[in-house]
Structure 1
Amino acid sequence: MSVILLRNTHCHLINMMLFLASTLLLLSDAAASKSIIKSLPGFHGNLPFVLETGYIGVGELEAVQLFYYFVESERSPKDDPLVLWLTGGPGCSALSGFIYEIGPLSFDYAKSSGGGKPVLALNPYSWTKIANIIFVDAPVGTGFSYSTTWEGYDVSDTLSAAETYEFLRKWLVDHPKFLTNPLYVAGDSYSGIVAPIIVQEISDGNEVGRQPTMNLKGYVLGNPLTDHEIDTNSIVPFAYLKALISDKLYESFMKNCKGEYLNPDQSNASCMEDILAIKECIGDLYTAQILEPTCKLISPKPVALKWDPRFLIADDADILLSSPRVHGHWCRSYNHVYIYGWANDETVRDALHIRKGTIKDWRRCNKTLAYSYNVESAVDYHRNLTKKPYRALIYSGDHDIIIPYIGTHEWIESLNLTIKHDWEPWFVDGQVAGYAMLYADNAQEYITYDLSFATVKGGGHTAPEYRPEQCFAMMDRWFDYYPL
């Protein structure tokens, strides 16, 4: 008996030593570059929340340096969830999500007009009121993240996920007090491809004993690109449901193109005429929110060229800084101009502790990434995760035509989950805020996985930017396991 006890104690000590060794190894590799930011240009007085910025080195020889903004929960940092937030793109900076979507600060547009420096104000619907959030500039080349080698900039969907997973492991080793917090991976738009891969990496790492063990609870995705074929082919049915195209045109498209918008038969003249007519109907709409106008002249590519069903979207700054605003004609992209002046200001960079000489021109979305799109669909990752004890929230602004909610609903249905609560409205302040469904995996002996699908009424591609109060209420309820 004593021999067995000694053997067990010996095994326990070995396991402890292995854990400490792996932790020390991670710590030795983790970047020590982090700073607590007390104040920021454009905001009057000290920040009323804890903001930390820093770099974490990942990959071979830590050539890739990923920059992050971390905000502690303003409610209870030790109890509230820890959220890793990924902005889409790929290549759109975490600062965009921080300022325009779910972060504690936003621009005060009334006080920022007139050519002066942008003025910052507190966001009353910041998700940091209920969660600790790490906003990371990923993949490398995004925001203030950079590589010390040219090879480091060659990145793909799977490599980006692997590097972000390594980032999170090192960040948690460097911030051990958050190891026990419920962990969620979250993001929107193109993050719908990368985030489920990261969740899978974390889950697999936990199962094989990779340190540190993470308290993974699930993931949250907004208007996520998930399956290129499903998402793109849902554009025309969505346009029809929203009365953007006529019954006659929709019926003709379904007959001539057989519902194929991603890869239509270009030799079919009738089909291509229908597609060009559809583009004519929706070409002047802001694709992220169909109730708003576009600020760009969009023209379909000639039929002779390789067909591209996506809309031509230029960078906000390129358009707006080179042409005068038209009086009375407002576009949401005007709001995005302020962030360029702010993030490229040297006093701001100094305040954020950005390493000098690493990023010449900050861009909200870097469209020159050396990026390989090597995952066409993330549906199989979601399907794998339905067998795990996780929670998922997929929400869709229902006025987004880039990733229409009906395409998102279609791939969710393909997971063959059991419907626990069918389509029904959810409310904020007595008003309909959207519609929601709750799914679960009943194939197992015990229900351990559930997925909530919610639409946000009137929301656009980045739903919190358009409906901040409703999205805040949605997250507050979901994090606390309440019905929406």
Structure 2
Amino acid sequence: MKGFSLGLLFWNSGHMVRRRELCRYFMQPCIGLEFWTSVEKCRRCARRNPEHTKSGVKHAGNPITNDYYDSKGLAEYAWSHAVVSDEVYDRIKKYCNFKNSNWSDDCSAAMDIVYSQYREIDIYNIYAPKCLLNQTSPSSAAQAFFENDQEHFRRRIHMFSGYDPCYSSYAEDYFNKQEVQKAFHANISGLLPGKWHVCSDSILNSYNFSVFSVLPIYSKLIKAGLRVWLYSGDADGRVPVIGSRYCVEALGLPTKTQWQPWYLDKQVAGRFVEYQGMSMVTVRGAGHLVPLNKPAEGLTLINTFLRGEQLPTHR
């Protein structure tokens, strides 16, 4: 895939963005795909292959980036989009110091109200219909169980930021098919107990490889000469555009072009701002899963990035 050069690929993966930095690149000197788990290795690759650094760092899509800004943005977005009342938001502002990893009891109680309101709609796209498909599915039953356990449900929705029970139902039906598992060389014997599930609570509850912020990593990548695009669907309530804007602004990068709309088919598809080494892009009407909600806009976003171009600024 000549010309697609050095890149770091994040696909709407929530906390996974923070748990491991995967630097991958597609280039002629390399066979296929290489992954690295440190920024320094990415930088060494860039120095070894200067002719292949055009594409830079691939889109970071609705990523959780910094606990403080993302939590602050989640609460502010819920209030500003009429999900919670003024009184609830006032309680959050009074009791919540999101700079602390451990919330106070008063803060947790206030944020529980936010999460309880999001149970009634799709937090990943606040304007989409709530998924009511196959309420007896294992994933739906598990979700109902956690909703009855307030603390467990709050922890689950706080940590596992890319999970949706509807998509899980489709995925579980598909990946539990015998022919699919055979194609993936998985469970060849057919003797493994139970079924495959999208979300494993035993793994979730024991996982501790996380950090408070990846903003320092962004800074290092930008200083290494890599180009970063962070995009956000503006209807995502879980990793809202408000928090992402706080995160980008915290980097303190010089502004190259001001906040402006970009277009697709003569309609405003979103907005973007360009900084030195980084761009922040929104996708209008998309939720957490931009390619699912707005596939044409998502494709335009990817193609524009890979070509090293600017998003269309005219109808």
TM-score interval for Structure 1 and Structure 2 normalised by the shorter chain: 0.7 to 0.9
TM-score normalised by the chain length of structure 2: 0.73
- Code of the aligned partner of 2:171: I
- Per the alignment, in what secondary structure is the counterpart of residue 460 of structure 1? coil
Q: Tell me if the contact between 1:233 and 1:261 (Cα under 8 Å) persists in the aligned partners.
A: no
- Code of the aligned partner of 2:288: H
Q: 1:339 to 1:214 in 2, by over 3 A?
A: farther
Shift of 1:227: 1.3
Shift of 1:287: 1.7
Q: 1:261 to 1:466 in 2, by over 3 A?
A: farther
* Inter-partner Cα distance in structure 1 for 2:168 and 2:70: 26
Question: Residue 179 of structure 1 is aligned with which of 30, 39, 48?
Answer: 30
- Per the alignment, in what secondary structure is the counterpart of residue 386 of structure 1? helix
Q: Tell me if the contact between 1:253 and 1:259 (Cα under 8 Å) persists in the aligned partners.
A: no
Shift of 1:342: 2.7
Gaps of 5+ in 2: 133-142
* Inter-partner Cα distance in structure 2 for 1:398 and 1:359: 45
Bigger Cα Rg: 1
Give deviations 1:241-278, integer Å, cap 9, x for gaps: 21212334323432454677964432x5xx66644443
* Inter-partner Cα distance in structure 2 for 1:309 and 1:337: 18
Q: Tell me if the contact between 1:262 and 1:309 (Cα under 8 Å) persists in the aligned partners.
A: no
TM-score normalised by the chain length of structure 1: 0.50
- Code of the aligned partner of 2:227: R
Q: Tell me if the contact between 2:255 and 2:275 (Cα under 8 Å) persists in the aligned partners.
A: yes
Q: Does 1:395 align with 2:228?
A: no
Q: Tell me if the contact between 1:459 and 1:467 (Cα under 8 Å) persists in the aligned partners.
A: yes
* Inter-partner Cα distance in structure 2 for 1:390 and 1:456: 23
Residue 377 of structure 1: aligned partner: 213
Residue 2 of structure 2: aligned partner: 78
Residue 230 of structure 1: aligned partner: 69
Q: Tell me if the contact between 2:15 and 2:159 (Cα under 8 Å) persists in the aligned partners.
A: no
Residue 285 of structure 1: aligned partner: 121
- Code of the aligned partner of 2:263: F
Question: Residue 341 of structure 1 is aligned with which of 167, 170, 173?
Answer: 173
* Inter-partner Cα distance in structure 2 for 1:376 and 1:475: 28
- Per the alignment, in what secondary structure is the counterpart of residue 436 of structure 1? strand
Shift of 1:206: 5.0
Choose between structure 1 and 2: higher strand proportion.
Answer: 1
- Code of the aligned partner of 1:436: F
Question: Residue 279 of structure 2 is aligned with which of 452, 467, 470?
Answer: 452
Q: 1:464 to 1:82 in 2, by over 3 A?
A: farther
Q: Tell me if the contact between 1:89 and 1:365 (Cα under 8 Å) persists in the aligned partners.
A: no
- Code of the aligned partner of 1:78: K
Alignment of 1:289-438 (within 5 A): 289-291=125-127, 292-293=129-130, 296-297=143-144, 298=147, 301=150, 308=155, 310-311=157-158, 333-354=165-186, 356-357=188-189, 360=192, 361-369=195-203, 371-438=207-274
Q: 1:397 to 1:307 in 2, by over 3 A?
A: closer
Q: Does 1:461 align with 2:288?
A: yes
Shift of 1:473: 0.8
* Inter-partner Cα distance in structure 2 for 1:399 and 1:382: 24
Question: Residue 201 of structure 1 is aligned with which of 34, 37, 41?
Answer: 41
* Inter-partner Cα distance in structure 1 for 2:46 and 2:161: 41
Residue identity over aligned pairs, in percent, reads 22
- Per the alignment, in what secondary structure is the counterpart of residue 78 of structure 1? coil
Moved over 6 A (4+): 258-262, 312-316
* Inter-partner Cα distance in structure 2 for 1:419 and 1:475: 22
Choose between structure 1 and 2: higher helix proportion.
Answer: 2
Gaps of 5+ in 1: 1-76, 92-137, 139-155, 186-194, 317-331, 441-449
Q: Tell me if the contact between 2:4 and 2:52 (Cα under 8 Å) persists in the aligned partners.
A: no
Q: Tell me if the contact between 1:425 and 1:436 (Cα under 8 Å) persists in the aligned partners.
A: yes
Q: Tell me if the contact between 1:179 and 1:214 (Cα under 8 Å) persists in the aligned partners.
A: no
* Inter-partner Cα distance in structure 2 for 1:84 and 1:314: 20
* Inter-partner Cα distance in structure 2 for 1:463 and 1:417: 26
* Inter-partner Cα distance in structure 2 for 1:247 and 1:431: 34
Q: Tell me if the contact between 1:78 and 1:178 (Cα under 8 Å) persists in the aligned partners.
A: no
Figure out how many residues of one structure are paired with residues of the other and give that number. 291
* Inter-partner Cα distance in structure 2 for 1:261 and 1:432: 38
Q: Tell me if the contact between 1:284 and 1:294 (Cα under 8 Å) persists in the aligned partners.
A: no
Q: Tell me if the contact between 1:288 and 1:401 (Cα under 8 Å) persists in the aligned partners.
A: yes
- Code of the aligned partner of 1:351: A
Shift of 1:312: 8.7
Q: 1:312 to 1:403 in 2, by over 3 A?
A: closer
